[in-house]
Amino acid sequence: MLASPPPALHLESSIRFVKERLSRQRTAICGLNFHIDAAELAQIEAARDRGQSLYLSARFLSDLRAYILFPRWGTAPPTLTFSTYYYASAEVGGEPLVRSSIAIDGDVLHQICDRCLADPELALSLTGAHYWLIDQLLSRLRLEAQAALDRLTRSLAIAIFLICALSQFPQWRQLNWLSMLGSALLTWGLPKLARPLLARIWPQIQRWLLRQILNGLLSNRDRLRRLALALLSRLDY
Amino acid sequence: MANRNNTTAITAAERTEIELSDRTRDPFNNFIRSLGDVLVDITALEVNTMVVERITGDKFNPWETYRDVYMVDRAYLEQRNVHPSLHNQYLSLRRTLELDYALLCADANSSLFNPAMLHNPAERQVLTNPDLEISAATTHLPDPLHPTDADSLRIIQQLLDSSQFLRNLRKVGELKACLDNRDRSLARMEQAHPGSSSQAIVREVRTDMIYAQTVIQLDGDIINRYSQEILDHPHRELILQIHTESVASGERQWRGLLGFVVNLVQDALERGSQAVALLRSAR
């Protein structure tokens, strides 16, 4: 029997985007902060050792993609900054101890706070956790086209079933078993037939959709950008 | 020759017009062009590990950074009592910015192309003289402190709109922020130990400097550089261990970021010829 993968680590409340308000309606993401305490640090180390992944919601991933594709300064190439805040106790903490700045042109700058070095064990744990969190985020950026295709065919099957069921609603008292059987067969078979066809035309649909999304995402109009973000999150999962 | 210059000028003007219309009409193509600029310039992955006294903010404001670096020259550093051990590093950052501007002005494909940069010896000094010290008399960067008219403001905006210039400006800004922090630490240390020599103070302040740098070139060469100060650092082994981890994770993370953007563009374009043609047209 195959062992199931370990459950994903949930740290939603510890990972926060740094947002800057540009106007009443517009905000821009200018960084990502990890706020962790000793217990979460231990959880991250255990997750890394067990090969667990970090849970990331579709909405979060969509915001992360927007952070990369829509930089605060329009023409500036994407540069991501990640800072780790460590809270040794409820009273201590509140300042970043590790920071990474990763530019798409290949410039990577890692900064570590001097006072962190006084405790070498903590320094290594903290930098290890910081790098693991960034790894988890950046390795999950790619869109899952296959998942979107599966979802589309599933939705198609449900839609066909509902259409068949509703079309027969008036005659439910005099059920025609033969037509019910036909509908069931159609519900079961059509998605199976449609899948190879969709798989063939899906790249074209996806390409068109992606272009529209990117145009919306990179547009200066806020409504378009919001719509693009919503569509981008639907493309995944 | 005049004819050739004319042709180039028209091309540059046309290019500006196309870029402006693209920006408003097709943000996707504009994004592709700026990405193309970045991809063409990638020659190596550079990972730096720095020990800092305090990690400062994330926000990058191109105008502020440009203005603050523009002001730097020897007179400014002396007037602000910046520690003498940092003067050369500040001046080197200022020269980097001047050089980036000169390269843009010498590039016939740039909207900032200025033939004078190639033909006038005074203007091309920064390209030919590695020891040139930038001052108010030798700078050719547009002045953000006293813009004379709308046209000079437009040139600065155009400069800050160039993805190539912005990329370098961001890096220069990060390094200047570290120098500023180091200068503050040195000043504090001098106040705390008034009798100590300048060299002793410099040795004692161990923060806000790059201790280790690894450059992984696309042809496979790997270059490691270490600051001389790391030899005396009490946590030398720890810093080196952190740097080794930084390099391994930095490479993975950069690949993740680059892979996502390039794949997204490939998926959105017809794979192959169109993608290549658009990326090439970025240059």
Closest CA to B98 of B169, B148, B174, B155: B169
Average pLDDT for residues A160-168, to the nearest whole number? 67
Question: What single letter denotes the amino acid at residue B124?
Answer: R
Nearest CA in chain A to B242: A124
Per domain, the residue ranges of chain A are: 12-138, 145-234
- pLDDT of residue A122 exceeding 90, the answer is yes
**CA distances to A39, A139, A202, A203 from A148, in Å:** 36, 18, 10, 11
CA distance linking residue A58 with residue A63, whole number of Å: 9
CA distance linking residue A179 with residue A198, whole number of Å: 27
CA distance linking residue A138 with residue A220, whole number of Å: 26
Pick left, alpha or beta for residue B35 (phi over 0 → left; psi -120 to 50 → alpha; otherwise beta). Answer: alpha
pLDDT of residue B1: 35
Q: What is the residue-averaged pLDDT of chain B?
A: 80
A100 vs B: CB within 8 A: yes
Nearest CA in chain A to B28: A215
Q: How many residues are listed for chain A in this entry?
A: 237
Chain-centroid distance, C-alpha A32: 14
Size of interface A-B (CB pairs under 8 A): 187
Percent of chain A with pLDDT over 90: 31
pLDDT of residue B277: 55
Mutate to test the interface with B, among A110, A205, A221 (most CBs of B within 10 A): A110
Q: Please answer yes or no on whether B261 and A68 come within 8 Å at the CB atom.
A: yes
Q: What is the pLDDT of residues A129-158, one digit of tens each?
A: 999 999 999 988 876 555 555 666 666 666
pTM above 0.80, yes or no: no
Q: What is the pLDDT of residues B163-213, one digit of tens each?
A: 788 888 988 998 899 899 999 999 999 988 888 888 888 888 888 889 999
Chain-centroid distance, C-alpha A217: 16
Residue A8: φ, ψ to 5°:
-75, 150
CA distance linking residue A237 with residue A231, whole number of Å: 12
Q: Please answer yes or no on whether A30 and B60 come within 8 Å at the CB atom.
A: yes
Mutate to test the interface with A, among B16, B43, B56, B58 (most CBs of A within 10 A): B58
Percent of chain B with pLDDT over 90: 32
Q: What is the pLDDT of residues A180-219, one digit of tens each?
A: 677 677 666 766 676 677 667 766 766 676 666 666 665 6
pLDDT band at B7 (very low <50, low <70, confident <90, very high): very low
- Taking contacts as CB-CB distances below 8 angstroms, the residues of chain A near B245 are 124, 127-128, 131
- Which run of H or of E encompasses B104? helix B87-106
- Which run of H or of E encompasses A222? helix A222-234
- Would you give the DSSP letter of residue A12? G
User: Which residues numbered 72-91 in A keep a CB inside 8 Å of some CB on B?
Assistant: 72-81, 83
Q: Please answer yes or no on whether B58 and A31 come within 8 Å at the CB atom.
A: yes
What's the complex ipTM?
A: 0.79
Nearest CA in chain B to A142: B260
- pLDDT of residue B10 exceeding 60, the answer is no
Positive or negative: CA dihedral A111, A117, A120, A125: negative
